[in-house]
Structure 1
């Protein structure tokens, strides 16, 4: 059902990518003209992520509270500078929320970005939705902050008591504890807006499908149970439009159900409901992409019998102008389009130039030329050229202070874009160039301020988020960038590693930490004392991969840790150096009652070729099996003995080859094959 789809939680990574790309597209539309490669690529990425969301649910509402983004009543991470920038840019327009709906086109997304990056005075006001419609934006809904609804006045105890009483009545209506007359009194006495406000304050968990149906049914029934009128329907629509977005769809769905159940009464009411009201209702259904019931289809058939005046569709000409498709043309423009007057407005020279361009036949580009041209106008190439120009201007000796500030500010903006798009090598070039310019021009405080921005905690946190999400896709540039930051970035990398949940991203972050060698190991040792087991495991893995023998004393205490994953990681580290302490710890694992731990000990023995545990392995090999599983469990033992290559294993292998079994013949044959392979 549609209602169920709305409740499906969104993947955090998908939502994060969608917000980031929406912000990039907003910024690019403000910087470049339509059709620019940077604009096209960012719009396409944002559009693709939104479509992935639409596969999960039919719409997504993003709410804004100053510098915070809220989705599904959950605030996104406030520390993320991209989220904060996007929230602030939209909040400045007095926008409370934006709803993106299934069916959205890339053209609508571009037009919407063009609007939100225009002057704030023309955007969020009482004509916002009308403005969106004129721009062809039909799958984006914007909710504006209504400052007129805020008031400051004293409330008497009697007024407060009356409000509390009505709230209890509304709650009773939703829960079904009111009688028919009492329920009708609630919707009659309260204005649609007041009722909607009280419903908005009821927690979502207190509402269900029956609650919505009770309110709609009460609105559609009068005390005498006569057919409902235009006023009844309009009051219902006003109430629904005043609800918060997530409730609006639920109540409209309920309206569809209630109307479909009462077909006969709706047919009797057709003559009393105005055409405008029905159109408003159908428009509300269409906005939420609800299926129109059969009863309303009947009404549409009734509307289709109306005779429309086709003269209304003809161009309308006034005394001094022409109106065509709602566009008013001036008298001058009217003369341009009149036959015979074209030459008065277009010179002969201009016409010759146009004819020359039309006749010119360009040479077709070959494959390599097309590839080079595409690369030249790609988004990374454009950003690289732009950053190069900004850096060159910033280093010019004759540049004025005011202009230098503008160039530096533009570089900061480009830095954020480069982070979001994974162009780490270009960002590294900006930082190294600024460092060089700072050394050559120590008196230029603007250069120091620019570096302070790139070295700030907020920017580094944004860098960590970028590395976690897309860093492994741009490995070479990522290593170049972290090298620019030096040791100062190691604690941030470790913190990102602790927070990361996906194994692929963890391995990438560990690779970045290992890039710093002993400095990275020193920071990892400090975190071994963390109480969380997974932090200890990750730090031990770093020490093991780094391969510094002097770190072994820090590892040994964890060979008998209560957590098996920590214990195994510590033993691995010691076995890598053939440390006797690690070998003794490995032997202890063979006596464990946990089959998984014993299996890990067997695998480690073969991986690190530990000859000291051959007796333990042979003991497992000769152990009699009472089931097919017991016999098959000898397979990893055989494999490990083969990896170790100790002659003592030959006698055990001969015993296996002599095994016979009627009940478990396939299992015996399997381990014999393993012996042969070994």
Structure 2
């Protein structure tokens, strides 16, 4: 194993440790760290299916190699931390998931007091359901009276090529001389140790030579020799070079010894062709071999699943299906995670039939699962499986994975945290069938920002669902949310919104027009003009407000002909900034129409533009108010006099002098005060 690969992996763990100290689980930074760690871990797994790393002061022992980390500041700091929290070793087995990595970082970054609540750092990791990563699974030194005496072996000298060749020759001489027993075992162990320390490029030729020598032994002696040998990486490679019959006998011996770890190592080290050849023989000798391999996490690797029958594959998955029926929630969770991983492997291999069968069981189990925490823990893996199915264009499987959430979301008592996680998952699928589920969250409180973000991601695909919900919505709070969502979708929704303007419900037409105004696309104004003839004045009023937002002067001028005073008043408000003095003169005839709010707005417009020609029409309007003493009329008299005073012309002074003689006390007083101000 090259030191650089081990160094890179340890550096990544150091980065992950520092990140876990600063960011909570689920943060994008942590997600990136976890993905990077998995990438480095897979590089190691490519050479060895399972490994342990031992930490002694500033030294890392990887399998049978030692690496000095004294000059690697990041890793040295990590080792110091491991020493403080009593992490002496880490063991990684094939099948490590992102959740396992996440749990590892959470544990090693936890304060000592928190760790003590679980007993030890190893116990804390186990409590989180992580079984593929183990802390302190391997002890160092010699146990004496319950204490572990740490010993550091001196690194053995690397043998030269000639020395290794000579050692292999000596082994051959012993075999040819018929010498067996302890002497042969000792010599074989020496040769194995020498080859393990040799350069990687030389090991294959050495292992092939040793394999040929071992094949010369009688079968019983050969198995006896290999039965108890330590399965270091080199030895595993050597075993893969043995004849099929020898491997079968060795595997049988390991099965009898209950040597699961060795059994797993031998199988993992074989080539695909050799595996395909020996499995039928193994099946005859061990009828339940596939179930056994499944329990070891091997049966569904790409190597195995492509070389065994569908019936055998189905049988091998039964142990995982049985886990789904457990009374223990943690066991059910592990069963689901395992099946999700298995289904993903089948999808990658293009074995969609097997993947579909497993997905059926997964979705049924998820739908029936009563413990929300179990569902929370598997959502990340479900997302990965969904993405795999989508990438392989398995739409049926994608839809199937989403179906259980219809029922799950109908339950009560779900935590806000769980709902947010489901919302994120559904949103990231990009599948339109989740839209009704996402819209169902609008009735919930405390999660609206997340719901809106999720729905808006779907763009125009979400518009029709939003309009359908808006059409049926009776609660004001719900309508407000829906309008807000459609506004946030923006220009993508314009065409669908306009198509739905012919809806029979007035409030839907009104809301659509309001949304179009908020979107702010001026190119649509001409298409909205026909709705100035809408039968409902509330729709026309909203249209005028939209014209006002969009600065559509032509539409506002046309709205001044509306029969509704409120609509005309709103149109005048919109014209205040855009119309010129000449256009205001054309509007003076509005004084003859009814509507106090309309007249107030017209007076404001005249005052804003300082239209001197408006003096006489204002005077006539004020005289028409002499017979009224209601509050609205009194306010209009005050606004009218103030507007006249702003015009500051000789004609205005004459008009004020005339109004000073009015029989209306209010007009008389206001005119006198105005004359004093302009004198």
TM-based fold match above 0.5: no
Structure having greater relative contact order (Cα 8 Å, sep ≥ 6): 1
Please, what TM-score do these two structures have when normalized by structure 1?
0.33
Q: Which structure has the greater CA radius of gyration?
A: 2
Please, what TM-score do these two structures have when normalized by structure 2?
0.33
